[in-house]
Structure 1
Amino acid sequence: MPKSAAEARAHLEMFYDAVARRATRTETFGALTLFIREGQGWPFYARPTLGSSVEPTVADVRAVRARQRELKVPQTFEWVDETTPALRAAAIEAELHVHEHPLMVLDPAELPAERPALPDLVTVRRIRADATDLAIVHSVAAVGFANPGTASGTDGPTERDTAALGQDPGLLSYLNERLRTGETVMFAAYGPAGPLCVGSYQHLYGTTEIVGVATLPAARRGGLAAAVTWELARHALTDGSETVFLSAGDQDVARVYDRLGFRSVGTALIAEAP
């Protein structure tokens, strides 16, 4: 784990760039790099060019947006505020919506020795390749992120199963292959009605990013996200990762991760078209 917040941010910049380059080709627009997906998978985004000493401008942002529209991919940008502070104002001037997410790195010494307690009849297990319920597991995140925050709600297994019917077979095949190769590691919390919470991680060169931790609104406030995140972090450390990090949805979510030993090192920003 990097010793200071500044060192952590510099380390994560290299990770972000390397992970994106594994499956994309790139185009440069001023101080921004657009990562363009090659083959199946989720679309990528634009980021500040690694190592650039030039500040991004509103003209750079608009040029990237025009190219994204041409490619018919989402108009999204991701960066760390403390590393590239000028990009926030440029994105806003280019009429993008900017969202803040606490950027947190795990202190391995602070990760609890035991997994947080689970409600009765709930277990956590790793999702393997060729899981027969992969579409249902993946749909937990779709329902969870459609209802952001930590508040309980009514959407539960019924909405999850409905969302599963609309899953893209190509994306499921891509995810399944990543599970097979170990590029993606996924855990889920199961109750009698099936998967209730899910999360995964991607890793490269001793660094792991935990992503997509989501709980069905009807199953919130039971500690499921904490338990799934603990399993992911423990697995990553056991598998040899030296740095484990994530971006929390908001400050309320960040408090869940803080109890697991994650510490804030900055602010991850995501900008997207209205």
Structure 2
Amino acid sequence: MPKSAAEVRAQLETFYDAVARRATRTETFGGLTLFVREGQGWPRYARPTLGSSVEPTAADVRAVRARQRELKVPESFEWVDETTPALRAAAIEAELHVHEHPLMVLDPTERPSERPDLPDLVTVRRVRADATDLAIVHSVATVGFANPGTASGTDGPTERDTTALGQDPNLLSYLNERLRSGETVMFAAYSPAGPLCVGSYQHLYDTAEIVGVATLPAARRGGLAAAVTWELAGHALDGGNDTVFLSAGDEDVARMYGRLGFRSVGTALIAEAP
């Protein structure tokens, strides 16, 4: 029997906290915990303190923002609306911009048995550690997220390859180590022009989060993101993860994930400085 939405959200709170604690130290501000990266990797964020009965306030948010500026890291907060409903108002009062993202979990019984069709000459395969094109693969996401939404655009392989020339070698080294250790699993859709779509998952405690699914704007509307997500979900399930989830970019993207067997269990919120 599938878990209820409330049960899934409770499980995800433990996952979010544990993943954020990897290679970080924590600082507490009222009802919030700030995760501070130590060493290489992406900057972390602040979240509601796991298991705390203290509701985050606007004063807590302002205190965290001041500390983030002091540390020269992004002023970023992430949480689930249904789990910590007071934080939305506190973040807005503290002059942050709040984004909503459908929080979705996979029902394995609803996952299509076959991968969505791909355009001619396009294949999907796993990106391995030490891939010689890792900078180019990673740049697919950089270009894709710089052009949000699902609409087609002009940015394609040329912009991807130009972006790859400026990728931080330390960040690529960190990503490569995660691929080698298996902490991150990455798949990409390739054409003769190189990678066009990319996505990953990270996993812990039999739970996998699909992240970073992005398509070059010039290659959108071809089903690439659906195919990459299908591969990621299947690999995560085959690896023993019994919960596979993601946060969709918007409702249009959520409908695509719905066709792959994902159902909504809440709303993921991200708050950032305007």
Same fold (TM over 0.5): yes
Name the structure 1 match of 2:77: 77
- SS in structure 1 of the partner of residue 102 of structure 2: strand
Name the structure 2 match of 1:102: 102
Does structure 1 conserve the Cα–Cα contact (< 8 Å) formed by 2:2 and 2:107?
no
- SS in structure 1 of the partner of residue 54 of structure 2: coil
Deviations 1:75-121 (A, max 9, x none): 00000001001100110111111000000000011111111110000
Name the structure 1 match of 2:248: 248
Deviations 1:155-212 (A, max 9, x none): 1001101111110000000000000010000000001110000000000010000000
Residue pairs, 1:147-162, within 5 angstroms: 147-162=147-162
Does structure 2 conserve the Cα–Cα contact (< 8 Å) formed by 1:2 and 1:11?
no
Deviations 1:205-258 (A, max 9, x none): 100000000000000000000000000000000010000000000000001100
Cα distance in 2 for partners of 1:108, 1:15 equals 20
Cα distance in 2 for partners of 1:162, 1:97 equals 31
Q: Does 1:212 align with 2:187?
A: no
- SS in structure 2 of the partner of residue 256 of structure 1: helix
Name the structure 2 match of 1:203: 203
Name the structure 1 match of 2:186: 186
Name the structure 2 match of 1:23: 23
The unaligned stretches of length 5 or more in structure 1 are: none
Cα distance in 2 for partners of 1:13, 1:175 equals 24
- SS in structure 1 of the partner of residue 211 of structure 2: strand
Cα distance in 2 for partners of 1:152, 1:39 equals 37
Does structure 1 conserve the Cα–Cα contact (< 8 Å) formed by 2:198 and 2:228?
yes
Does structure 2 conserve the Cα–Cα contact (< 8 Å) formed by 1:2 and 1:8?
no
Deviations 1:39-70 (A, max 9, x none): 10000000000011111100000000000001
Change (3 A) 1:68 1:106: same
Name the structure 2 match of 1:48: 48
- SS in structure 2 of the partner of residue 198 of structure 1: strand
Does structure 1 conserve the Cα–Cα contact (< 8 Å) formed by 2:23 and 2:37?
yes
The size of the alignment, in residue pairs, is 274
Cα distance in 2 for partners of 1:96, 1:16 equals 21
Cα distance in 1 for partners of 2:22, 2:149 equals 31
Cα distance in 1 for partners of 2:181, 2:55 equals 38
Q: Does 1:259 align with 2:274?
A: no
Deviations 1:118-160 (A, max 9, x none): 0000000000000000000000000100111111111100110
TM-score using structure 1 length: 0.99
Cα distance in 1 for partners of 2:146, 2:200 equals 18
Name the structure 2 match of 1:89: 89
